[in-house]
Amino acid sequence: MELRVLEYFLAVTREQSISGAAEYLHLSQPTLSRQLKDMEDELGKQLMIRGNRKITLTEEGMILRKRAEEILELVQKTEHEITISDEIIAGDVYIGAGETDAVRLLAKAGKRLQSEYPDIHYHISSGDSTDVLESLDKGLIDFGLLFGTVDTSKYEYLEFPLKDVYGILMRKDSPLAKKDSVCPTDLHDKPLIFNRNTRDDDLLTSWLGKSISELNVIATYNLLFNASLMVDEGLGYAIALDKIINVTGESNLCFVPCEPALNVGMNLIWKKYQVFPKAVKKFLDEFQKILETE
C-alpha cells in the first residue's frame, strides 16, 4: 500500500466524492477510481460505497481513514525531524496532557527557550490517559502528562513536585455547595459524573468506599469542560480536579474539595530508549531544570 494512495483515499473521504477529490488532486476521475479500486483489491475489502451524490465509508473504510491519518502524520513528523539542519535547533515538540493546571510548568519551559530558540514550536493535545497513552505508543507525541503511577517497563518519567487536588464540581445552588468540604457519604445518594477511566478500587472509588455499580453514575466524560456543562444543566455532580474550570465571577458553578483530602501526583513520561530530535531534547533539559527549582 503506497503513501500516495493513502493520500488519495483521505482526499476522497474529505471531499465525499470521486469528482471533488480528483479536482483537488489534479487527477482524472478514471485514474483516481482505478487507484482506489486497486487498493480495495489489494486489501480484499470494500472501503467505500459509491452513491449518486457522495461516498459513504464502510466499517473497514472508517478504520483505514483513522490509520491513514495517523500514518501520514507520523511520516510528516519523521521527515521534518530528519531534514532539519544540524546547525539549527528548530522543530516541533508534541505533548499529550490530561487537564491540569500543571501544564503551566510545561509552558514555563517553552517560554524560557523562546528567545534563544524561536523556531521550536509546541503542540499540546488534551485528552485523558487512554488518549495520551495511545498517541505516545504510536509515536504521534513525544511526551505524555499523566496522573498516578507509571509503567516503568515501558516509559521513562519525571515526577512533578506538586499534586493536583480532587473535589466536586457542582452548581452554586446545590445542597452541598455550602459545605467547606465533601465527604464520601455526602455523595452516595447523588447523581455522579465520572471520568471515563474511573475503575473499581482506584483512587476515587476507594475514597468513595463503594464500587461503581453501587453508585449512581449518571454520566462519564473525558474532558472536564464537557462535564462542566452537564453540571451546569443540573445533571449531576462531577468528581474533578481543581483549577481547570473557572468557578469565579458569574459562573453558576463552584468547587468543593474532598474530605479526607484526595490528591494525585503526575508525571511527564516518554517511551524508553527514545532518541529525541534536538528541539525535543532541548525542551526536556529545560523542563528538568524547572523541576529542580520548584
Q: Strand, coil or helix: what is 183?
A: coil
* Other CB atoms within 10 A of residue 166 CB: 20
Rounded-to-integer distance, Cα 274 and Cα 79, Å: 17
pTM: 0.70
- The pLDDT value given to residue 178: 94
Average pLDDT for runs of 10 along the chain of length 294? 89 89 90 90 90 86 90 83 72 93 94 94 92 92 93 95 94 96 97 95 95 97 95 97 94 97 95 91 95 87
Please classify residue 76 by burial: count the beta carbons closer than 10 Å to its beta carbon, then call 0-12 exposed, 13-18 middle and 19+ buried. exposed
- The pLDDT value given to residue 73: 87
- The pLDDT value given to residue 54: 84
Q: Please enumerate in sequence order all residues whose Cβ is within 8 A of that of 140, keeping only pairs 6 or more positions apart, or say none.
A: 70, 73, 74, 77, 94
- The pLDDT value given to residue 165: 95
Nearest-10 crossing angle of helices 103-114, 278-293 = 120
- The pLDDT value given to residue 271: 95
Q: Looking up cell 528538568, which residue turns up?
A: 288
